[in-house]
Amino acid sequence: MSDNKPFEGRLALVTGASKGIGAATARALAAAGAHVIITGRNVKALETVEDEIHDAGGHATIAPMELAEQDAIARLAAAIAGRWDKLDIMVLSAAYLPMLGPVSQIEGKPLGEALTTNVLATQALLAAFDPLLKRSDRGRVIGMSSGVVDSPRPYWGAYAATKAASDMLLECYAQEVERISDIRVAIVNPGATRTAMRARAYPGEDPATVKPPEVVADRLVQLLVEDFPNRHREAIVNPA
Residues forming beta bridges with residue 89, ordered by sequence position: 12, 140
Instruction: Say whether 146 sits in a helix, a strand or coil.
Output: coil
What span, in angstroms and rounded, lies between the C-alpha atoms of 232 and 63? Answer: 28
Among 96, 155, 159, 202, the active-site one is 159
Whole-Å CA distances, 133 to 177, 184, 207: 10, 10, 36
159 is catalytic: yes
User: Which residues lie below 8 Å from residue 144, measured CB to CB, with a gap of 6+?
Assistant: 21, 91, 92, 93, 95, 188, 189, 190
Q: Over the Cα atoms of the chain, what is R_g? A: 17
What span, in angstroms and rounded, lies between the C-alpha atoms of 98 and 114? Answer: 6
What span, in angstroms and rounded, lies between the C-alpha atoms of 203 and 82? Answer: 44
Evaluate whether 38 touches 46 at the Cβ level (below 8 Å).
yes
Question: Cα 116 vs. chain centroid, distance in angstroms?
Answer: 15
What sign does the dihedral 195-226-150-94 (CA atoms) show? positive
Indicate which residues carry an active-site annotation. Answer: 159
